[in-house]
């Protein structure tokens, strides 16, 4: 899988999980202390988040970090 493709799939999965939990980007940003702008960039596949950021997102969404990489929606 190419890097850009991975980032797009990861972003789509994070957006899916966020919406599934009824969170806005603003709410996820609040829970993770990551800027709302950066959350949007991650979800669009425009950012390459660090493992630390992905851990924060997974914790806020109450999932294991591995779930972020399970691209079967």
- The per-residue pLDDT for range 57-69, each reduced to its tens digit, is 999 999 999 999 9
3-class DSSP state of 58: helix
Q: Is the pLDDT of residue 73 over 80?
A: no
Q: Is 44 helix (H, G, I), strand (E, B) or coil?
A: helix
Helices assigned H by DSSP within the chain: 3-20, 25-32, 36-44, 51-61
Q: pLDDT band for 4, please (50, 70, 90 cuts).
A: confident
pLDDT of residue 46: 95
């Amino acid at each position: 899988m190419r890097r850009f493709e991975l980032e797009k799939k990861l972003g789509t999965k994070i957006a899916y999980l966020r919406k599934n939990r009824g969170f806005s980007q603003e709410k996820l940003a609040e829970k993770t202390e990551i800027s709302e702008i950066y959350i949007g960039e991650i979800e669009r596949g425009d950012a390459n988040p660090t493992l630390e950021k992905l851990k924060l997102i997974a914790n806020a969404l109450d999932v294991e970090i591995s779930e972020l990489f399970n691209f079967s929606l």
